[in-house]
Each structure stands twice: as C-alpha cells, then as structure tokens.
Amino acid sequence: MTRRGLGLVAVTLGLATAAGAEAPNPLAEVARRVRSEALSRTAAFDRLVELCDGIGHRLSGSKALEAAVAWAQVRLTSDGHENVRLDPVQVPHWQRGAESAELVSPRPMALAMLGLGGSVGTPPEGVTAEVVVVSDDTALAALAPDAVKGKIVLFDHAMPAWTPERGTGYGTAVKYRVVGAVLAAKAGAVASLIRSVTAHSLRTPHTGMMRYEDGVPKIPHAALAVEDAALLARLAKSGHKPVVRLRMEARTLEPAPSHNVLAELVGRDLPREIVLLGAHLDSWDVGQGAHDDGAGVVMAMEALTVLRRLGLRPRRTVRVVLFTNEENGLAGGKAYASMHGTELHVAAIETDSGGFAPRGLAVGLPDAAAERTAVPRLGAWLRAVDPGLGFGAVEARGDGGGADISPLAKNGVPLFAYLVEESRYFDVHHTAADTVDKVDPTDLARGAAFLATVAWSFAESGPP
C-alpha cells in the first residue's frame, strides 16, 4: 500500500472508535476497497473472452499456447506491471490426430470418445476386439488367466456425485485414466478404455493425462462418454460380447519450446520476499479451457491489476506466474522451481479449480502437525476478511497446494489452494464443453477480489 493508501485506511478506521463500537478491522477495510474495484470492472471476463474466443484451446507444443503466452505478456505489460518476462521451458508435444470408436457387434454404432493425453495410436486400420468390462483393478485381477488377452479392457468405474460433505470423487476415479493402460496391458489387452471421469454427462467424453510404465507394452488408451461406457457394460452383463473398433492417430513428437509468464507488483520494504499467485495457461485440445484454467489466469492477472490501480503496494512482492504445461507434464512448474526455488517465497497460492464462486483456502505445509494447527488460524483470517468481501468465503482446510506450485514444497514454502463452489466443475472438466459461456462474470470478478486480498495480506503481514 502507498503511504497515501495507508493514511486513508487509518483515517477511515479512526472514525469508528466511539464507545461500544467494534474494534477496527484494517484487513476488512482493504478487502472492501478491493471488492468495490474488482466488481466495478468487467476486465477479468473481457480477458477470458479474448483468450478463449480469440485463441481457443492451448495444448502444450501448439502454436495456440505460444499465442497465449504472447497475449499474456502484452496484457500484463499494458497493465503497468513490473518485471514482466518470459522464462523458457521445454514442454511435451503430443498430438491427437483423427480418432474414432465404433461398436461393431452386436450392432453398429458410433461411440463418443476422446483419446487420453500421451496415448500411443493404433495401426491405420485400427484395433478391433471384444471388450471385457471391469469395474476396477480388483475385478480385473479376479479374471481367469488370459481372459483379456488380445481384447480391449473397459474400466467402467463410476465417479460418485459431488456432495457438500465429501466433495468430488475425482481423486479415486481418475486412477483408471492415469494407469488403466498399464493395468490392462499387464493382463494382455491390446487397448484400454475408461468411463469418463465425471459424475454427470450429456454424452460428452472427458480427456486427460495418462501414463505408461517401463517394461510394459504401450497400448492405446481412450475415454468413452459415460453413456457409452454404461451401454457396453449393459451389453456385457446381458450376455453379449461387444466388439469395438478403435482408431487413433495419436503420436508424441520431440519436446517443443514454451514459456512461463511472470509479472510483479514489487514490494515496498522487502522486495526479495515473494508471494506467488499462480495459474496455468495451457489447456487440453478440446473446448476452450475456460474454467481449466483460463479463469485462473485472468483472475490472477486482474488481482494484480486491482492492487496496482488502488495503490495497494504491500511490503513484499506479489508475483503472478502463468505456468505452461500443467496438463500433461508439469514442465512449467518444475522449471520455475529450478530457476526460482532458491528465492524466498513466503507463500504460493494456486488457482486451478475454475471460475466459480469463492469458498476459501486450503493450506499445505511440509509438517502435518504444523498444517493441522495452521487450519484454524487460516479460518480465523478468512472470517476477518469476510466482512469486507462479503462472499462467505470462510472455508479453511488442509491438504492445500496445486500441481504447478508443488515443486516448491521441498523448499518448505507454505502452499495454498483457492477453493471454489466446485459442484459443477467436473461436468465440463477436460471436455469440449469447457467454454467461456459456462463462466459467470460476477463469480470471476469475486474470485479476482478474493485473490487480490489474499495476495496483499500475505505480502503485507505474512500468511496466517
């Protein structure tokens, strides 16, 4: 904050000291100013439209991703930020190519599918084989030896619906997307399929990252829409032996050049101490990457701009980092830690859960006992902020962090994840439906205000 800004807060608070009045709350006053500024503007949503409609999806290695890098550099510079720069990163370069899945027997039917990121392709004529349906790895292991040899395995593992108490079931269901090809190949399968990782579907398949294992044959791996996976499961249960033809031109090329984009609001007293606010520029090659993670990108950009417009320059430096290659390699996060990990980061905050309404923060610390004691302090801090923001974003929990900032954990950096109202996130996650029309402009502005307040407070006084 500038000296003028500090003076304005002091004057404002000094007016509310009559007998019986509540104690002054300087943090809430800053939050109030930030909220008013952020909600008076449409800049975050306008920039999301620029990114999503003007550039589109942004897979690592693509020209579109580098167009997004250049766009972000221009926008951050035009907002007057300091030390706007590009850090070079080599990223994986996987290409989807043409792909399809067809039910051949007991009747012909086109299936809604998406190849999974990093998968190998099929021969030009495709792979045609009977499909063996299992619910999980335990069911696969229980089959007779050679039961899936020369066949296609479908992991029909349902992701449970979101509930307020449990949240999402993503962490469990995503296992078969990541390692399903390895499990199936070890059993002798020639290809593998999964039920898309979502609880709700309108026949829209979900892509995402998968992995192979050294010494295990690499087989094609793809996701089916929930409805089509359920169809194959019903056919198998009724005694049919469904046969599917899978065609995929997927291939992995040599690594490609890309960049992380950095910009700063330099601290007034301790400029070498950093509060990092991060999101990722890349996306999958379907849809527009609006919630994942275009929303995070524009909220981080707008948070920095709101602080600058209000003259709220904190003691420490707030650094926005727009990471490359979060989706299929984490090369941007690893490169940042390698290049900047020795710098003093007092906190790192990641936003990668979409542009939904703010709900709070999760904290992650290297020591489990310290993390448990930090959660109630974080909750108290959020309750102190809430009178100014008025969003009801007071949820505090542990196990915080994020994929891109996770490499900083080995340096003892406190990690924080921005929490949102996530009940609908996995409806569009990694799909062609992740488009800008799914993002509410007001929620986006609220998110920018919340993140600006968090970044300013952590840079001014340190994390709670």
Strands 251-265 and 316-323: antiparallel
Query: pLDDT tens digits, the chain, 464 residues: what are they?
Result: 333 333 333 333 333 334 445 567 889 999 999 999 999 999 999 999 999 999 999 999 999 999 999 999 999 999 999 999 999 999 999 999 999 999 999 999 999 999 999 999 999 999 999 999 999 999 999 999 999 999 999 999 999 999 988 888 998 999 999 999 999 999 999 999 999 999 999 999 999 999 999 999 999 999 999 999 999 999 999 999 999 999 999 999 999 999 999 999 999 999 999 999 999 999 999 999 999 999 999 999 999 999 999 999 999 999 999 999 999 999 999 999 999 999 999 999 999 999 999 999 999 999 999 999 999 999 999 999 999 999 999 999 999 999 999 999 999 999 999 999 999 999 999 999 999 999 999 999 999 999 999 999 999 999 99
User: Nearest 5°: phi and psi at 214?
Assistant: -55, 135
User: Nearest 5°: phi and psi at 432?
Assistant: -65, -15
> Do residues 221 and 116 lie in contact, with contact meaning Cβ atoms separated by under 8 Å?
yes
Residue 213 is a catalytic residue: no
- Amino acid identity at 150: G
- DSSP annotation string for 181-222: HHHHHHTT-SEEEEE-S-S--SS-----B----TTS----EE
Say how many CA atoms lie within 13 Å of 7 toward its Cβ.
Answer: 3
Strands 152-155 and 191-195: parallel
Instruction: Delineate the domains of the chain, giving CATH numbers in brackets.
Output: 3-93+254-461 (3.40.630.10), 97-249 (3.50.30.30)
Q: Which residues pair with 129 in a beta bridge?
A: 244
Instruction: Give the sheet arrangement for strand 152-155, strand by strand.
Output: 109-111, 99-105, 243-248, 127-134, 152-155, 191-195, 221-224, 113-115
User: Nearest 5°: phi and psi at 423?
Assistant: -60, -25
Residue 151 DSSP SS3: coil
Nearest to 301 by CA among 65, 78, 57: 78
Which of 302, 326, 327, 460 does the annotation list as catalytic? 326
Whole-angstrom distance between the N-terminal and C-terminal Cα of the chain? 19
Q: How far apart are CA 47 and CA 45, in angstroms?
A: 5
Say how many CA atoms lie within 13 Å of 5 toward its Cβ.
Answer: 20
